[in-house]
Amino acid sequence: MSKPSINWYKYAAPANFYPLAGKMIPLFAIPAAVLFIWGMYVGFFVAPPTDAQQHEYYRIIYIHVPAAWMGMFLYVLMAVYAGIGWAFNARLASMMASAISVTGALFTLISLVTGAFWGKPTWGTWWAWGDARIMSTLILFFLYVGFISLQAAIDDQRRADRAGAVLALVGVINVPIIYYSVQWWNTLHQGATIRLTEKPQMTGAQLSAMFVITAACWLYSIAVVLMRVRILIMEREQTSAMIEEGAM
């Protein structure tokens, strides 16, 4: 006898997704904490320093780079969910976009702050206005803030989701600009340390710390987004019920 298949489509309904999200949160939150502790230990106590110029300051890379990666990836993911919500009137997709936006903004802010702390001993300045990567990353942060503010400013939730989707989709063009900025323009930032087609310029311990912390950031993002989307489901479903009761 064949096993009954799971109807995944039913979880597109916010009410059905709510309990599933609650069960999934610990599956991501606990490994995220374990991996983060492990990665920080390897990065700050096991991995050797890179050169005499940066000394121990280079260890900021283990927070800065994963945060920068997550900021860019989460924006693309937010735009995808926002676009799906707009195109198919999918409420859960729009809620996922809203939930992702806050986490993405946080990672982008962390990348900017840690970049400043890294830039001071390396470049001699906290901030370089003429650096293309810094400015394009700052624009990414403003896009996140704009998305969050735009949704908060519009009372009609459907209109807010549509307006946010337009902004998110237009802003996607900034992500490849961030990535290729060091190749297109003369910037203070160094080129990519990790390339798929070339041998890494980092030791095994350094690479391990980088990838473990990145994995921790991924799992953390999933757990936090699921927590936030559950809150949004409760808020929006309650509001919808109150509106329906008031119309009767």
Q: Spell out the domain ranges in the chain.
A: 25-49+60-190+204-237
Rounded to 5 degrees, φ, ψ at 197 are -95, 0
Q: Which residues contact 147 (CB under 8 A, 6 or more apart)?
A: 78, 82, 101, 164, 167, 168, 171
Give the pLDDT confidence score for residue 199 in this predicted structure.
Answer: 61
157 has a pLDDT exceeding 80: yes
Model pLDDT, residue 248: 46
Model pLDDT, residue 121: 79
Per-residue CA distances from 153 to 35, 86, 98, 102, 131 (Å): 38, 18, 13, 16, 32
Per-residue pLDDT for 26 more than 50?
Answer: yes
3-state secondary structure of 127: coil
CB–CB of 148/101 below 8 Å? yes
For the cut 50, the answer to whether the pLDDT of residue 153 exceeds it is yes
Q: Residue 51: what pLDDT?
A: 59
Residue 134 has pLDDT above 80, yes or no: yes
CA distance 133 to 151: 27
Q: Is the pLDDT of residue 242 over 50?
A: no
Cβ neighbors of 47 (< 8 A, separation 6 or more) are 59, 62, 203, 205, 206, 208, 209
pLDDT of residue 6: 60
Q: Tell me the average pLDDT of the chain.
A: 87
Q: 86-110, pLDDT tens digit by residue?
A: 999 999 999 999 999 999 999 999 9
Rounded to whole angstroms, how far apart are CA atoms 213 and 24? 20
Angle between helix 91-123 and 132-153 (nearest 10): 150
Show the CA angle centred on residue 242, arms to residues 238 and 245, nearest 5°: 140
State how far the Cα of 56 lies from the Cα of 51, in Å rounded to an integer.
9
pLDDT average, residue stretch 205-210: 90
**pLDDT for 243 beyond 50:** no
**pTM, rounded to two decimals:** 0.90
